[in-house]
Structure 1
Amino acid sequence: MYTGRMIRKGFLHIIMLFLLMSGMPNILTASDLSDATAMRQKCEEEYRALEITVKNFGNPFVLRRYEDAGVMLKEAKLCLAQSRYKDAMDIYKKYMVLNNQIYKDISVDYINRAETMYNNTAKELVDYYDNEKVSHYFRLAKQNVDDAKKAASANNYKLAIDLCRNSKKYSIESYRIAGQPVPDKYKKDISDNNKELYRE
Structure 2
Amino acid sequence: MKKKEFPKVTVILRGYDYDQVNSVMEVLADKGEHFAVEVTLNSPDVFETIERVADQYGEALFIGAGTVLDLEDAKKAIEAGAQFILSPIMLEKETLDYCKERGIKTIPAGMTPTEVYQLFQNGADIVKLFPATSMELSHFKAMKGPLGELPLMAVGGVNSHNTNDFLNGGASYVGIASGIFNKEDILSKNKAALTKSLEAFEERVFHNRKVVSQ
Pick the structure with more helix per residue: 1
TM range (shorter): under 0.3
TM-score normalised by structure 2 residue count:
0.23
**Hey, which of these two has a bigger chunk of strand by percent?**
2
Which one has a bigger Cα radius of gyration? Answer: 1
Normalised to the residue count of structure 1, the TM-score between the two structures is 0.24
